[in-house]
A and B are shown apart, each in its own frame.
Chain A
Amino acid sequence: MKLLVAVKRVVDFNVKVRVKADKSGVETANVKMSMNPFDEIAVEEAVRMKEAGVASEIVAVSLGVAQCQETIRTALAMGADRGILVQTDAELQPLAVAKLLKAVIEKEQPKLVILGKQAIDDDCNQTGQMLAALLGWAQGTFASKVKVEGEQLLVTREVDGGLETVRLKLPAVVTTDLRLNEPRYASLPNIMKAKKKPIDTLTPEALGVDVTPRLVTLKVEEPPKRQAGKKVGSVQELLDKLRNEARVI
């Protein structure tokens, strides 16, 4: 079974992001970039399926600027077999990403597509769902457990009330939640091997996809600064403040 994983290049989770002076977005110049952590979980799951003999080939796909190659290399170093970069400098919104992925999937014909449930930069949580809808495939989102059973897939989902298990027909789209697995570190020998694995480069034009943004970002602002705490003298005063200042009770 062939698997396809989507990996996004985002600002590293350790970086304290700063808003650009003109409020058009966050600062990404000279900022460390890494693979979206949920996508690492997606790659790890795919690699485990390959190690278990369930999957035969893993294709890692990234969309965006040329440097997304580095993100693909990381996936290759973790165990993916080859990469595809859909290269563009345009801003990509979830719908455009889903359409591009759909075009790649139609060429590659994987049986299963694994994505992160969301990316830590825009937190959209839309791409997987849109992709499944565009393909007309089954979807298992927020997966904390995935098991292939013949032509079917058992996906345990993290939902508000607890865990829900669904049975999907393949081909299908799965999005990963945090508890699905703990991604491995790419080892040095595998980093060296990854250098020799192929990465194909495509463009949105070649795939015939219009990526024009549908949404306009008006402005980006820092969340309000947390105010210093106050000491209250009595329970009465606390209740009073909760009721009249914070207005939470």
Chain B
Amino acid sequence: MPLLSRRDLDFLLFEWLDVERLPRRERYAEHSRETFDAILDLSARLAEERFLTHYKKADREEPVLRDGAVRVIPEIREAVAAYAQAGLLAAPFDAALGGAQLPHVVHTASMAHFMAANVATAAYPMLTAANARLIAAFGTPSQIAAFVGPQLEGRYLGTMCLSEPQAGSSLADITTRAVPDGEDALGRRYRLSGSKMWISGGDHDLSENIVHLVLAKAPGPDGRLIPGTKGISLFIVPKFLPAGSEAPGARNDVTVAGLNHKMGYRGTTNCLLNLGEGVAHRPLGSAGAVGWLVGEAGAGLALMFHMMNEARIAVGLGAAMLGYRGYLLSLEYARQRPQGRPLAAKDPAAPPVPIIRHPDVKRMLLAQKAYAEGALALLLYCARLVDEELTAQTEAERRNASALLGLLTPVAKTWPSEWGLAANDLAIQVHGGYGYTRDFDVEQLYRDNRLNPIHEGTTGIQALDLLGRKILRDRGEAFARLREEVARTEAAAAADPALAGFRQQLASAWDRLGRVAQDLVELGGDERALWNATAYLSAFGHAVVGWIWLGQARRASASLAAAGKDEAFYRGKLRACRYFFEYEMPKIGSWLDVVASLTDVAAGMPDESF
């Protein structure tokens, strides 16, 4: 069974997002539909033959910590190596860095296969690419030469080290210290000490070296750490000092203090790292993890957001693809599992029907289709915005794309995480008791997906980001731009009588979303505005995906009329859109009621009354 529907992917890329036109832009001139197809074929194959094959094994055989080093099953190493050898790690990077300047939207479609096949193994290349992109954007030429080149070849893998045991959501409270240690060929050198918690890919035996990007604080003139995020700087801290440093190959003062034993995503090692213990390793003769400053001191969090935004979209993609695979697995199961008889059947001796014939099972499949395909479409749209940000003709268009991407990032991260997980819940339900066993993949998909609302900023934190930062502090500017895009889709759908009802429903949801936002802006910083931020994020996310569904439906309706073939596919798209508007869009109203009322039902609940 395929990992995803290639028909759907082709529809999204080439019918809906017009990706075939991207090669007209200079950056992508070497590409064509032919190379895009070849890359998607390659990705499907590599994902099926090298990633899917150890999905369960990597869950069963967790990474182990032995003699201070983490070991993973060899299949992960082979998969990551095959991915890099196929040139996919380097694919979207500049030709000057050895990349192929593949459009981000095609690279995202390629990555979707690996996420669907084995999200935990796919995390290694995903983190590495995001890490390399940050260094490529903000590192010095010597830093780029030392780290990015080997990363794009898959010889070095990357991590992001933000969280600490006492500081997860609130990064302002990190306490890892960075003390200046002179300067060398790789830039301003520091010695770091502290603990980093939850580090994905923090140690393993998959690569020659590991490149940690670490947030830490340099003490001020009084020797104390500067409170808040202003004191945070960003450092490159490799496991082994690289070529170009004063001691190539020397083991850095980074040790694994322990492994976290997770519910899912087990193939991705997750470590507590200690920096600067000075016991086992003393690089350049003294204690302290050697790190090189990236960019300006104090700008660390802003720079890290470069990687985090990419990682957030990647988290959304992983969540979407876990939902997608659960959908396809439960669809196949529902077509094969005979049980019960039609509602109207009279004859008890009649043979049972496949469960896909039961309306409630169809409901569960349709919900999964609407969530999974909606989420994938949203992420491809966001990836397309990255391409616009890079290559749109005018400065104004590029800026518009950036603003939209900024506003949509919390949705791209959260919506698939919440609703992809809901899809996996339904995938288990469709399987009945069998879905609750480890003989099928759906329970693992669910466990893997349960991480996604947590890491890279929890749903609660994303809600504060969306409402507090991206809407209130922005005074609705980016919101207005997005509203224009939605209006464009509404206008395009206007000509299609079959879509008129959805168009109206979408317009009124967006109008209300805008009115509520405006009211909250006018509260002028009153904290009540944020009391129910998560409900606002829920409403906003559904309104965004409703818009995405209407866009798909319009395209499907037009293609159906023109092509006269593939009727079942296009009707499926129209039906999923209808499902979304009939079952899901009405939820927006109740979420917004709560937000608009400024209710203190939760915020005002006294601790002692729980």
Contacts and interface: CB of A to CB of B under 8 A. Distances in A.
Interface of A: 14, 30, 32, 34, 70, 73-74, 77, 185-192, 195
Given A74-B38, A77-B38, A195-B35, A189 B566 contact: no
B222 to A, nearest CB: 52
B100 A186 contact: no
B87 interface: yes
Nearest to A30: B566
B86 A195 contact: no
Question: Which of B42, B48, B88, B102 counts the most A-chain CB atoms under 10 A from its CB?
Answer: B42
Contacts of B46: 185
Given A187-B86, A187-B87, 14 more contacts: A14-B48, A32-B6, A70-B37, A77-B38, A185-B42, A185-B46, A185-B85, A186-B38, A189-B87, A191-B38, A191-B39, A192-B35, A192-B100, A195-B32
A229 B45 CA distance: 35
A240 to B, nearest CB: 29
A185 B46 CA distance: 8
Contacts of A186: 38, 42, 86
Interface string B1-43: 0100010000000000000000000000011101101110110
Nearest to A185: B86
Interface in B83-134: 85-88, 90-91, 100, 102
Contacts of B82: 185
26 contacts: A14-B48, A30-B565, A32-B6, A70-B37, A73-B38, A74-B38, A185-B45, A185-B85, A185-B86, A186-B38, A186-B42, A186-B86, A188-B39, A188-B42, A188-B88, A188-B90, A188-B91, A188-B102, A189-B100, A191-B38, A191-B39, A191-B42, A192-B35, A192-B100, A195-B30, A195-B35
Contacts of A188: 39, 42, 86-88, 90-91, 100, 102
Given A14-B2, A73-B34, A192-B100, A187 B85 contact: yes
Contacts of B37: 70
Interface residues of B, number: 26
A185 B91 CA distance: 15
A221 to B, nearest CB: 23
Contacts of B566: 30
A117 B378 CA distance: 46
Given A187-B85, A188-B100, A192-B100, A34 B41 contact: yes
A188 B152 CA distance: 13
A185 B47 CA distance: 11
B399 to A, nearest CB: 31
Contact of A195 (B2, B34, B88): B34
A247 B85 CA distance: 54
B213 to A, nearest CB: 25
A191 B31 CA distance: 10
A14 B37 CA distance: 17
A107 B39 CA distance: 34
Question: Which of A14, A185, A186 counts the most B-chain CB atoms under 10 A from its CB?
Answer: A185
Contacts of A190: 87
Interface string B556-575: 00000000011000000000
A34 B32 CA distance: 19
Interface in B450-481: none
Contacts of B565: 30
A42 to B, nearest CB: 18
A190 B85 CA distance: 11
Interface in B389-446: none
B387 to A, nearest CB: 17
A186 B34 CA distance: 14
A188 B37 CA distance: 11
A128 B565 CA distance: 39
B128 to A, nearest CB: 16
Interface in B138-190: none
A74 B100 CA distance: 18
Question: Which of A77, A190, A191 counts the most B-chain CB atoms under 10 A from its CB?
Answer: A191
Contacts of B2: 14
A77 B87 CA distance: 13
Contacts of A73: 34, 38
A220 to B, nearest CB: 23
B366 to A, nearest CB: 23
A134 B98 CA distance: 48
A73 B33 CA distance: 13
Given A30-B566, A73-B38, A185-B45, A192 B30 contact: yes
Contacts of A189: 87, 100
Contacts of B90: 188
Nearest to B48: A14
Contacts of A30: 565-566
Contacts of B88: 188
Question: Which of A70, A74, A186, A188 counts the most B-chain CB atoms under 10 A from its CB?
Answer: A188
Given A14-B2, A32-B6, A191 B35 contact: yes
